[in-house]
Structure 1
Amino acid sequence: MMKRRNTRPRAFDPDPNAPQCCCDMPDCASPAGYRAPRSRDALNQYYWFCLEHVRDYNARWDYYKGMSTAQIEAQLRADTRWDRPSWAFGQSASSRRAAPQDDDILDPLDILGQHRQARAERARAQAAPRTPSALREPLAILGLPWPVSLEEAKTQYRALARKNHPDTNNGSRAAEERLKQINVAFTIVKTHLLTENLEKTG
């Protein structure tokens, strides 16, 4: 009995439409048979690698590299609905088109203006990156907002250290305890920012 030959390509077989060229990895002369996107902004433009280098490239690929937490969340929300607009359940297209805008309504007492300001403040709060939970207390001790740069944290730390040093407060025990808290808070913030910078550049 003849054994039927399996003609299906294996998952790691080269792309039959690959260009006849060498691997795009510098100093590699192997044939290029596998494609990989150049960046998240150019998913239809490809590098062509050999099997070894496409595996290495894919292992290092990070679609969200360089994006903030808010940008990643927005991208994930868009992906779950295939980048199509969405509306509240039960809201018809005609009602969306007919919805009046605040600017279309005569408001001599500026009653709607208060609502517009509240909505703007909510929008700003939602757009701002969320403070990492581990940094909330240290940032509060240092009196710093989030996000913050390492240089800003250093400047604020120096100012607080000078202000709360026991030598400038007649040897006050309260100032000494406050300085200890400031030192711990700054160490936590500095470590987080240095780790974050390494992850972005790595």
Structure 2
Amino acid sequence: MTALRPDLAIIAEHVAPGTRILDVGCGDGALMAALRDTKRVDARGLELDAGNVAAAVSRGLSVIQGDADVDLAEYPEASFDYAILSQTLQTAKRPDVVLDHLLRVGRQAFVSFPNFAHWRVRMSLLWGGRMPVTRLLPERWYDTPNIHHVTIDDFRSFVAERGIVVEGAWFLSGDKRTGTAAANILAEHAVFLLRKPA
């Protein structure tokens, strides 16, 4: 098995065996394939990019081409144990609506995103005065798919305002896990496990 991207490895570690998942913005299906092969998960995927859909299907995965902003509304309520949105939230036109659908479709939802409040991003703006280009944010301001720049504290505030329950939270600095203390400035990437309030 190919090594998973660090945020996907965290998600894979916490998905229960034998469950049903929907991976929204699944890319080439790396996470789905790993979960199918190691945990016998019934995995489905939704992906916007046709090339990624073809790559996932060539792995024997059930992936359809679609847009999270539009197509998640078509999925029935609680039809999956987990709905997964990895590095896709910040590219959605209406991330609030996408999250609502994610929590409606899945009994629990994993959400991972790059933290735009990381110290390197802040320093780039402070000293260079330009939008940062980093390993995790490699595109320039005019060709980036990121249209909503979210920070860990923004996301925590968002879920608290909506009464969404945080079942787990993990933070990454580079490819290594880091603690929750000062995560908003020290973590480059965040992974949250959420569920709707009872």
Normalised by the size of structure 2, how large is the TM-score? 0.21
Greater strand content: 2
Q: Greater RCO between the two (CA within 8 Å, min separation 6)?
A: 2
Greater helix content: 1
Q: Highest Rg: 1 or 2?
A: 1
